[in-house]
Structure 1
Amino acid sequence: MVRVLIAGLVAMVIAVVIGPTFIDWLRRAGVGQQIREEGPARHIVKQGTPTMGGLLILASAIAPFLLLSRYTMPGLALLFATVGCGLIGFTDDYLKVRRRRSLGLSGRWKMLGLVLITIGIGWVVGRVGYLDTEIYFPVVDVNIDLRWLYYPFLFVVIAGTANGVNLTDGLDGLAAGTSAISLLTFLAIAAISWIRSGPPGDRSSNYLDVAIFAAALIGGVIGFLWFNAFPAEVFMGDTGSMALGGAIAVLAVMTQTEVLLVFIGAIYLIEALSVMIQVASFKRTGRRVFLMAPIHHHFEMKAWSETKIMVRFWIVGAILCTIGFVLFYRYYLSFKR
């Protein structure tokens, strides 16, 4: 457990220490946020704020993970998915900055990148002994083997979570705070699974590596949040939001708790659903359900302050993550025995 604590603390210290220098470098390089014209009017003051802060999160988390990791396949799979999704986001951010507009990488290229990441994670699932194509549903206590359907399901989990976190990243501190809460929940799940996995061995090392990675990412996110809290000095950009979404999704896969993402990733699901509902309603009826989507902008249009929205989303996210953790503790531990 010492490795887990050290990973989190080192990542946080790295982010806080190098953060000011990194932000200054982004500012000098002209890496500024491009604001959507159709977004809330008061966001125009954020134009030019340094972005691509996700690089700070990744650098801060990867360094202690590589230092403390047991280099198991689940741990390396998490690293692969996080960096892979981060690269997709980085390409998107780079194109936005270069073109000086809010449109970056096209959707088809994003989906192609996510498909390749899904293939890689699917290969790991087939190689790791305790992972399989079965999905466990708590409460009803049912275990269903999806067989080949598991791989399309895996794509939905990874792509859906990555894009959900991306949509959530619209207010200062919102995506970083909710992601830290989700990651902390998965850290608790991985740590308990490691403790309950018995004598040291492959299974024990797998869960330990997952816990180390989660802790390192939490440290990096908290260190980043120091500069991202309102009023933000830096934005994580798609680099950070896509990376965090990919990490959260694959943490669910590596802990065999994909179904619990309904609770642990509920904020991202709500944000994504609000966009889908808005688009579907407007196309069918010409009317909008929300004042603006994603839903956090709806509350902005109702004159809620950014900090009020952020804190309330954090509270709701924490409550839902607690429900997810309780379900894990009540059902999954007995299922894994």
Structure 2
Amino acid sequence: MLERVLLLTLLLSFLIAVLLSPIFIPFLRRLKFGQSIREEGPKSHQKKTGTPTMGGIVIVLSILVTTLFISNRFLSFSPEILLLLLVTVGFGLVGFLDDYIKVVLKRNLGLTSKQKLAGQLLISILFYFGLIQMDISTAINIPATTISIDLGWLYLPLVIIMLVGASNAVNLTDGLDGLLAGTGAIAFGAFAILAWHLGYIDVSIFSAAIVGAVLGFLVFNAHPAKVFMGDTGSLALGGAIAAIAIMTKLEILLVIIGGVFVIETLSVIIQVISFKTRGKRIFKMSPLHHHYELSGWSEWRVVVTFWFVGMIFSVIGIYLEVWL
């Protein structure tokens, strides 16, 4: 029975995203919500200027509607679901404001870094206090061992770092057609399996709803993309995957399952440090996916390769938790 509910969740969320997107894309075009491509990015991306963005609204709506329907119809509306939706919608709202300022107000940088961080911090702290009300453990488990370390009050900064860090890391990965939608589906699929295995049924259902939503969105976001998710989608997904890892007590495994996001972020950090200290760049351009583009790889080849790498990381994460 529960397995069928999980499958129904994935299919329903996929269907909602697939049905909403063809309605939403022309609406975004009429509102002239087109993407502005950074001049410092790859020249080949300039042809994407004007492609509708803020498609992440479709993803968030699909997740929200599916999760609420499945929870009310087959399960109970648990505190876990409430907190997961708080993070997803909250971070999505921060991303929406960022996109709105970029697209509508024509301020290419969107929210200032301080404004964006303030929004992320507020939601992270609300999420933490929600966890405390649920009396969740402040210990973290070391994968493939029986070792558990109780962080006590240090768990608060860990939660903040995970949510803010993951949302920004996932945001950096959203740079090529279908890149984030594909790697996101793979990572959330891994967490859906692990949450189910560990008995976090609500969290597994929520994860499956995200898998369906991003796969439905991918139908229209694959190269050549008809719509971009924007910060509305990428920040929502980043916050959601960190919240899922925290809720299932798989905090450390997030670094492995989200390995692609970690590598993308490290490439930016390494590039900045190298340029500021040595005046030299390590990569042709960061994040890393742009380096491969400028090395002569086609956009589709980069995306599929990153999907494959994401699959390997997810399999490793599942193996460490389930079989060791």
Q: Give the TM-score band, short-chain normalised.
A: over 0.9
Match of 2:102 in 1: 96
Does residue 5 of structure 2 align to residue 3 of structure 1? yes
Paired position in structure 2 for 1:235: 228
Partner of 1:37: 39
1:182-236 CA deviation, whole Å, 9 max, x = no partner? 0000100111122xxxxxxxxxxxx221111111111111100000000000000
Q: Is the 8 A contact 2:255 2:262 kept in 1?
A: yes
Alpha-carbon displacement from aligned partner over 1:108-138 (angstroms, at most 9, x marks no partner): 1111111111111211221224x21101112
CA–CA distance in 1 between the matches of 2:323 and 2:137? 21
Q: Alignment partner for residue 60 of structure 2, among 58, 61, 71? A: 58
Who is 1:156 aligned against?
161
Write out aligned runs for 1:68-217 (5 A): 68-69=70-71, 70-129=76-135, 131-194=136-199, 207-217=200-210
Q: Distance in 2 between matches of 1:310 and 1:101?
A: 29
Q: Which runs of 5+ in 1 are unaligned?
A: 195-206, 332-337
- Secondary structure of 2:283's counterpart equals coil
Q: What fraction of aligned residue pairs are identical, expressed as a percent?
A: 50
Q: Tell me the secondary structure at the aligned position of residue 38 of structure 1.
A: coil
Letter in 2 for 1:86: G
Q: Is the 8 A contact 1:135 1:143 kept in 2?
A: yes
Paired residue total: 318
Tell me which residue corresponds to 1:300.
293
How large is the RMSD of aligned CA atoms in angstroms? 1.1
Alignment match, 1:201: none
Counterpart-to-counterpart distance in 2, 1:286 and 1:140: 43
SS of the counterpart of 2:252?
helix
| 1:34 and 1:101 in contact (8 A); partners too | no
Code of the residue aligned with 1:224 in structure 2: it is F
- In the TM superposition, residue 101 of structure 1 has moved relative to its aligned partner by 4.6
Which residue of structure 1 lines up, in the alignment, with residue 260 of structure 2?
Answer: 267
CA distance in 2, matches of 1:18, 1:320: 31
Structure 1 segments (4+ residues) deviating >4 Å: none
Q: Point out where structure 2 has 5 or more consecutive residues left out of the alignment.
A: none
Letter in 2 for 1:145: D
Q: Deviations over 1:24-64 (max 9, x none)?
A: 10111100001111000000000000000100111112112
Q: Secondary structure at the match of 1:258?
A: coil
Alpha-carbon shift at residue 140 of structure 1 (Å): 4.7
Q: SS of the counterpart of 1:48?
A: coil
> Structure 1: which amino acid aligns with 2:133?
R
Residue pair 1:7, 1:64 contacting (<8 A) in 2 also: yes
- Tell me the distance in 1 between the aligned counterparts of 2:107 and 2:295: 27
Does the Cα contact within 8 Å between 1:7 and 1:215 map onto a contact in 2?
A: yes
Larger CA deviation: 226-235 vs 262-271: 262-271
Q: 1: CA distance between counterparts of 2:20 and 2:117?
A: 33
User: Is 279-288 or 133-142 further displaced after alignment?
Assistant: 133-142
- 5 Å-filtered alignment, 1:280-291, equals 280-291=273-284
Contact 2:95 2:233 in 1 (8 A): yes
2:48 to 46, 54, 57: 46
Contact kept, 8 Å, 2:144 with 2:321, in 1: the verdict is: no
Q: How far apart in 1 are the matches of 2:54 and 2:219?
A: 15
Provide the rounded CA distance (Å) in 2 between the counterparts of 1:324 and 1:10.
27
Task: Give SS of 1:268's match.
Answer: helix
TM-score by length of 1: 0.92
Q: Which amino acid aligns with 2:297?
A: W
